[in-house]
Amino acid sequence: MVNCIIKNWQGEQAGQATLELKVAKEENAAHIVHRALVRQRTNGRQGTASSKTRAEVRGGGRKPWRQKGTGRARAGSNRSPLWRGGGVIFGPKPRNFNVKMNRKERRLALRTALHSRAEDWVIVENFAEQFAQPKTKELIGAFERWGIEQGEKVTLILSEIPDNVYLSGRNVPYLQIIRADNLNIYDLLVADKIVATPEALEKIQEVYGD
């Protein structure tokens, strides 16, 4: 169980919130979270890198010089990998890097990662009404009032992402805004602070609390 203090827009204490999730056993926690992280990062690779072998490089059909009598080493093609402009030996080819992981295992890893960041949670009251129009300066000022130092990486979790909040935060390089029902393990682990609203916690409990 994770117990958190709820702060209001001004940074003052406004209540308490709890999040109760089933997590992995302590001896297995690091392993399962690591596997889930490796899976996400690996599955994000495009796998489109490609180089040409000597068979695919254009040209090279004619023998550069006769086999014997020149004093040179024998050569059958000027597209040999030994030649400039030739093919590539054992170069990259398009491939699928996807790593499989059971759905239950993925969700367990996500819950374990959420629980492991308990000390870095910052729970704030819903502040969508504070943004009548997009204002990045207001959002950064709110982070400072909530005890987040400038430059710390922040993952902001919301049940719904209002347009004005999104537009206010999209140009902040250290901020990642995600929906509570679309969490991923990388954004949870890479952040220095995780900011969420009580509504987002309820959504997390509803979606991931099995």
Domain that residue 19 falls in: 2-45+99-208
Count CB-CB contacts under 10 A for residue 2: 17
d(CA 209, CA 162): 25
Task: Give yes or no for a contact between 113 and 34, defined as CB atoms under 8 angstroms apart.
Answer: no
How many domains would you assign to the chain?
A: 2
Collapsing DSSP to helix, strand or coil, 12 comes out as coil
CATH number at residue 173: 3.40.1370.10
Do 177 and 150 belong together in one domain?
Answer: yes
* Mean pLDDT rounded to a whole number for the chain: 90
Do 90 and 104 belong together in one domain?
Answer: no
Note the pLDDT tens digit of each residue in 185-198. 999 999 999 999 98
Do 71 and 36 belong together in one domain?
Answer: no
Say what the pTM is.
Answer: 0.80
Task: Give yes or no for a contact between 157 and 194, defined as CB atoms under 8 angstroms apart.
Answer: yes
pLDDT tens digit at each of 210 positions of the chain: 677 788 888 878 878 888 888 888 888 889 999 999 999 999 999 999 999 999 999 999 999 999 999 999 999 999 999 999 999 999 999 999 999 999 999 999 999 999 888 888 889 988 888 888 888 999 999 888 988 888 889 999 999 998 999 999 898 999 999 999 899 999 999 999 999 998 998 888 888 876
Do 186 and 86 belong together in one domain?
Answer: no
Half-sphere exposure of 93 (CA within 13 A, CB side): 7
